[in-house]
Structure 1
Amino acid sequence: MRGGDSRPQTKQEKDNARKTALESRVTSVSKNDTMKVYMGEIGQISLVSKREEAELAEAIHGFDDGAHDEARSTLIKANLRLVVKIAHDFKGLGLPLLDLISEGNIGLMRAVEKFDPIKGAKFSSYAAWWIKQSMRRALANQSRTIRIPVQSAGKINKIKSVRMKLTEELGREPTDGEIAEHLDFSERTVAGLRLADLRTFSLHDPIQQGEEGEFQDIIPDRRAMTPDQILGDVESVGRLLTLLDELEDRERLILKMRFGLDGYRARTLEEVSQAIGRTRERVRQIQNQALVKLRTLLADETGYASD
């Protein structure tokens, strides 16, 4: 049934539903085969030690064009598995896994050109920042809409799987209630996650028609540049807290409350607004201002580019 339509489905409608489910499965199998081939190929490439990384970086920045190209290729290939690992963290957020890997490889290539071993960072940690940045930009360009947290993306994938299974069994699109029953989710959760997966609504849309409150008020901020994402995998939490000490008291408190740092739980804009007695919009402005400062502090200390 759809939207309260209780009429029985025709044979044509049932056939179309089964056809759609089958096509989705075939496409998934094809992509899985491509991934298996790719993983098999990059799995045979040898990793390099930190000493070898330094030698390759020196060759890349040298004046011998032949040595530059060979060293660049070696360092890129040795880190392709890192791109795949990171891509899985962004899976389900708006781009297919293979597209994420492709974008991540672009970030890896930028990291290879910019890496300076003299600064003391391990290449994989340095490259992870560029890889994630490239993936985030691709996601942002793909859709100027809500970013779906990784944990929610996992639930969305489960909903899709059950929906496809029930479509085949029932010969029609299952209701949110039927999906919820199979997953032990609430019907409201299923409806909300399916809506989020459409990625076509505004953060300013009401949570429900006729009710007060917008989506942005109930969603903890998981967007592109959180404090831990700014640092990537480069440094420890202690380093992050040290950088936070450079901010104003109000900025530091808001970041800790918004992103669950230093013993705080992650809170929504509305919750922070109520806690500190400021409007949601003012909290958002202070948060964004603090993130810019934090990113600048990191760039000053490490030489990491901020673009």
Structure 2
Amino acid sequence: MTAITHQPLAMTNPWGLVPSLGNLDAYITAANRLPMLTLEQEQEFARQLKDNNDIEAAGKLVLSHLRLVVSVSRQYLGYGLPHADLIQEGNIGLMKAVKRFDPDQGVRLVSYAMHWIKAEIHEYILKNWRMVKVATTKAQRKLFFNLRSMKQGFKADAAEATHRNTLNPQEVDAVATKLNVKPEEVLEMEMRMSGGDVLLDPTPNEDSDEAFGPIAYLTDTNHEPTAMMAAHQRDVLASDGIAAALNVLDERSRRIVEERWLKVQDNGSGGMTLHDLAAEYGVSAERIRQIEVAAMKKMKAALAEYA
């Protein structure tokens, strides 16, 4: 066979023909301008790769099909993932297809590569879409990637389409029958796909100095080191610290504090009242209150030293 040259793609580094995906518009424009290969060119490059592991030939096959990846990736923009990431994953699928392509099978690379491109994009979406594993079986994956288009078809036929976002029982049964899944699986998948995303850790905006999100109440602070140290300190003060503070009081002051603050009756009420203690010591209730205040001040100072 006479060697076929294709000047636009004949270069050591064929990837230099397209810009980085960081400039998506420029990348897509460049990919769409790359010339497509004829059947003879595709066959020759594929044989060079298969027989001689010619990397430059592989690059030419990949470059000529970048527009296919761009076209396929557009079909998956509805999942909220960056277009550049979808193209990148599709390119990985394209390269896998080029590596495995057999020119003697009688099919064009475009038909063979379509499966690999879609498979790689599917895997990326399932792993990253809302960071939730939404499909585990083959049937569920089929449901995931077909439910949105089937819902659009139902809505287009329904008079109340503009007012209804969920499937009715008949539509659920129709989807389940066509995709060979259970009706409850259709309902669960619809709920997951219809649910909105929630930002766990919102960034404060210019209208508010503080923003509150689920992270505030989902975080387990019980085992956070500083919280554990503070809890331990409170426990120590509530036991050993209180005992040490009581020791700085005289007998009468200590008993007044214990009766007023540290004793609990069987019915859940506190200890003796000011009047009860006043009657016992033969002084006024106001005098008992003064003794209590002075005792509490001494205990507070003792606790501060203990801490």
- TM-score normalised over the length of structure 2: 0.41
Q: TM-score, normalised by structure 1?
A: 0.41
